[in-house]
Structure 1
Amino acid sequence: MTREQPPGAEPCAGSSTNPRAALYALCVGFFMICLDAPVVNVAVPDLRSSLGASLNSAVWVNSAYALSYAVPLILAGRLGDRYGPKRVFLTGLAAFTLASLACALAPGTAALITTRSLQGVAAALMAPQVMTLIVHLFPAERRGRALGVYGAVGGAALAAGPLLGGLLVTATGWRGIFLVNVPVGAAGWIAAYRLLPNRRPAREHRLDAWGIVLSSLGLTALVFGVQSGEAYDWGTVAGPVTIPGLLVFGVLCLAAFLGRQRYGTEPLLPLRLLHHRDFSAAALAGGAMGAAMGGLFLPLMIYLQGDLGYGPTAAGALTVPTFVLSSLCARAAGKRSDTTSPRLLAGTGFALLAAGVGTLAALLGPGAGGWPLVPPLLVCGIGIGLVSTPLAGVAVRTLEPGLVGAASGVFHTTRQFGGALGTAATGMLLEARVAGSAATATQTALLFPVAALLVGLGCCTLIRPTTPVRPG
């Protein structure tokens, strides 16, 4: 039996589309982009020694990816609305695979940073299409389970990243972490081409050129300023360009962007999207979640390696149970969100996360061991799983099909910007310490993710307490 297509869209190509198989094909690409950052983090020491790179250049290998990933997300969501999410997803996956090969062949640090930027843009093309296609593949009463798989894949990638990265670097050197993407990406592209429905918009959408320019400039300035402020001591970047100036410029560009969206006939960001209470609350909560995650693991890794003397792989391995549990809980939360209020699930997750991070901060006294940190980290894992899947479902559950692509782009943007803000804020707190051990500095820095999680919990109270539509 063919499922009825959403209004305002042409039918998906091929009534024989298998939603479950299509979901697994999507997950291959999503796993790759989620795995990328934790894998590269482990490779930084080998990368520095191999290329003779400075610490700042090595850090920019990941920062360039994060920046180029965050900025185009809104545009990428809208591209899916215009050209069809399958076409944009396949383009992004092909570009990501080729960029991975270019990263592996990079002769120096500058070339690697450039190819990592291209990899980030490709990832941005893919990410919003995953949520969009899930919405179109699954009816409301079955969507939570599908989003549970989506959340579980993200958790599994974060769990596998440190160990897989360590194994690849040990066996092949840093180039191996990029080369492995080539066969996986090629297989994922073939599977996605064969299994994903070719849903196309019912009418041709035009892209707002000025909106693209203003949003790109604004987000680039803001994300770069927040992400790199500490590296430049919140002062001069080059010549007359300063971090405060970039932040002000970014805010002005985004203000002009929003003004244009209000009066444009084909806005890049339809402002009526923000009138949906559930979407706005979920996007804000997602930003808070990103800030908390960005603010949690940076100081924790510094503490484990600075105070306790763990190596990078050992420090990463200590967090593996957290993300394994997160993956399992995301899958379970997806199933439950089909019959239980997602506000309750996400709110419980934020509360558990705040309790787990608060306990971590209390335990990190000078000379504390690593194993006592495992129980609160496991509580954090449960919280992460309970938050991620329900929030994604809430963000799109009341939207008409024509807004889903834009909504997915904005939702991912707030999460990425929150992560950059969290990393910058905790970095400032770590740098601001006058005296004391890494443990004392980490205790102070962890106050920021606790505060962000409480903000996220407050956002959850704005979500309508209704349960999803049940079948029959």
Structure 2
Amino acid sequence: MTAPAEPPAPAVPLASARGRWILLTTVLGSTMAMLDSTVVNVALPRIGQDLDADLAVLQWTVNAYLLTLAGLILVGGALSDRFGRRRIFVLGVVWFAVGSLLCGMAPNAGVLIAARALQGVGAALLAPGSLALIQGSIQAGDRGRAVGLWSGLGGVGSAVGPFLGGWLVDGPGWRWVFLLNVPVAAVCVPVALRHVPESRDPRAHGRFDVAGAVLGASSLALITYALIEAPTGSVAVTGAAVGGVLLGVAFVALERRRANPMVPPDIFASRQFTAVNLVTLCVYAALAGFFFLVVLQLQVVSGYSAMAAGAAVLPTTALMLLLSARAGEFAERIGPRIPLTVGPLLCAAGTLLILQAGPAASYVRDVLPSMVVMGMGLVILVAPLTATVLASVDPGRAGLASGINNAAARVAGLLAVAALPLLSGMGPESYLSATEFDAAFSRAMPWCAGALVVGAAVAWATVRSPAPGACHPQCHTHCALTSPPLEPSASEEGGKR
């Protein structure tokens, strides 16, 4: 016998004090997770020097976080819908803060990597609930403005994050890149507990696909290990590669049989949904590889400080913050095919332009053109990509579709950071030698550009305009350097957006 459902909490006006507190805590929570996907890259050279680590450790510092985040983000969304968005959001913030504290205190590379994996678990719990808290708490007439403010304020945080991370690395040290999350969480948690009403999806039911989550994450972990450790040529690497593929096959087979799968196979019956996710894989693999290596290139080869390397990417996120809403509106008028083709091609051009950034590179002449072209490509691309994902499925599955698309981007980034050094011939100590790293960087950027061209070709060949009345995202402004924005379930509005 099940307990009666709790009555829904009264909707909160955005203009009220409580509405502003709700907006504050959701912005703080989402910004923590968003920043951690980008600012850590700036600190990698200093982390490697301080911990006497090779390139594989730097890759795992990024990928341990991406691995648990990509593997569990769909589970985090399901837990939020079932047990309460506020409860899981607060749990995620606390978990993320504990992981951040452990990262900041890590005495060696092994502890840092393990703590990064814990951070990813926390991010998987808090990220899906952030926007869903606004959806479930703010009154219907104010939700559009609330989502716009949430997205814009989060975008500001994302834009200044790499600069702030670089300032911390050059000042008090790289550990403060992680420790800064602790006081932010100390503000976020009590505000959420005091001011945010609890909400959940009354339609959430069935068992959690724990086995699917374990199989999927284990497959990704083994494949990532095989790619990072491939230069050693050991038997363990071969075994990990084979095991990862077999676990991936087992994951697909399990999802086909389960009544409540984490990734329902039938959602890929939509040709458009499948195509846009292929575009997502290509685009975000290239972006992850680009931003992972560029901040290393600028510090190791061009001689930039950590703060200067972080500030170098500011034009990209600033352009997205300023122009993505208008670009999203324009894409709705002309359809997604052209933006999803032109956007990746511009990003590919930006990727090749950064090859000018060699020793003693001038920022204005050698770096800024790449960042501006890359930013314009992302402005054109991100909003229609998200809109097309949502428009390709039934409105009631909007949250699931968005979660799968976001997870696909995280997986793409995970595999790119693991594979790109291998494809470009980077050795374990390459980042300690300006000459070796510059040569490998010159080989890596064409791989990123090639992935973007493939994404553009897939979009041109397969993407078509959505049917009238299809589901659309609530926000167009998003500094999506690591993944498309998540969208909450449409259940509170009866499936309408």
Q: Same fold per TM (> 0.5)?
A: yes
Question: Residues of 2 paired with 1:308 and 1:46: CA distance?
Answer: 15
Q: Where in structure 2 are the equivalents of 1:441-460 lying within 5 Å? A: 441-460=440-459
The residue that corresponds to 1:15 in the other structure is: 11
CA RMSD of aligned residues (A): 3.9
- For 2:364, which of 353, 368, 371 is the aligned residue? 371
The residue that corresponds to 1:409 in the other structure is: 403
1:443 deviation in Å? 3.3
Question: Residues of 2 paired with 1:397 and 1:340: CA distance?
Answer: 15
The residue that corresponds to 2:285 in the other structure is: 291
2:303–2:360: 8 Å Cα contact kept in structure 1?
no
- Is the aligned partner of 1:102 residue 2:102? yes
Question: Residues of 1 paired with 2:97 and 2:112: CA distance?
Answer: 15
Question: Residues of 2 paired with 1:260 and 1:46: CA distance?
Answer: 43
- Which residues of structure 2 form unaligned runs of 5+? 473-495
1:449 deviation in Å? 1.5
1:73–1:128: 8 Å Cα contact kept in structure 2?
yes
1:454 deviation in Å? 1.6
Report Cα offsets for 1:81-104 as digits up to 9, x if no partner. Answer: 433444333321221123223333
The residue that corresponds to 1:241 in the other structure is: 236
Identity %: 33
1:147–1:334: 8 Å Cα contact kept in structure 2?
no
1:225 deviation in Å? 3.0
1:265 deviation in Å? 1.4
Question: Residues of 2 paired with 1:140 and 1:252: CA distance?
Answer: 47
Q: Give SS of 1:321's match.
A: helix
Question: Residues of 1 paired with 2:161 and 2:205: CA distance?
Answer: 40
Q: Where in structure 2 are the equivalents of 1:428-439 lying within 5 Å? A: 428-431=422-425, 439=438
> What letter is aligned with 1:176?
W
The residue that corresponds to 2:384 in the other structure is: 390
Q: Where in structure 2 are the equivalents of 1:303-314 lying within 5 Å? A: 303-314=297-308
- Which residues of structure 1 form unaligned runs of 5+? 1-8
1:208–1:266: 8 Å Cα contact kept in structure 2?
yes
The residue that corresponds to 1:122 in the other structure is: 122
How many correspondences in the alignment? Answer: 455
1:307–1:439: 8 Å Cα contact kept in structure 2?
yes
Question: Residues of 2 paired with 1:366 and 1:167: CA distance?
Answer: 22
> What letter is aligned with 1:235?
G
1:24 deviation in Å? 5.6
Question: Residues of 2 paired with 1:308 and 1:251: CA distance?
Answer: 39
Q: Where in structure 2 are the equivalents of 1:271-282 lying within 5 Å? A: 271-282=265-276
Report Cα offsets for 1:319-377 as digits up to 9, x if no partner. Answer: 2222222222334334555655344444332232123223334x457876442231232
Question: Residues of 2 paired with 1:355 and 1:346: CA distance?
Answer: 15
- For 2:257, which of 251, 260, 263 is the aligned residue? 263
- For 2:322, which of 313, 328, 345 is the aligned residue? 328
1:145 deviation in Å? 8.0
Report Cα offsets for 1:33-62 as digits up to 9, x if no partner. Answer: 121143333444555566x54345465433
1:326–1:384: 8 Å Cα contact kept in structure 2?
yes
2:337–2:464: 8 Å Cα contact kept in structure 1?
yes
> What letter is aligned with 1:322?
T
The residue that corresponds to 1:183 in the other structure is: 183
Report Cα offsets for 1:264-322 as digits up to 9, x if no partner. Answer: 21222111211233432332222112111122234433443344322333223222222
Report Cα offsets for 1:110-161 as digits up to 9, x if no partner. Answer: 4333222211111122233446567778999999987776665665444323
Residue range with higher mean Cα deviation, 295-304 or 129-138: 129-138
Structure 1 length-normalised TM: 0.81
Q: Give SS of 2:38's match.
A: helix
Flag the 1:458–1:89 CA change in 2: closer, same or farther, 3 A.
farther
2:169–2:306: 8 Å Cα contact kept in structure 1?
no
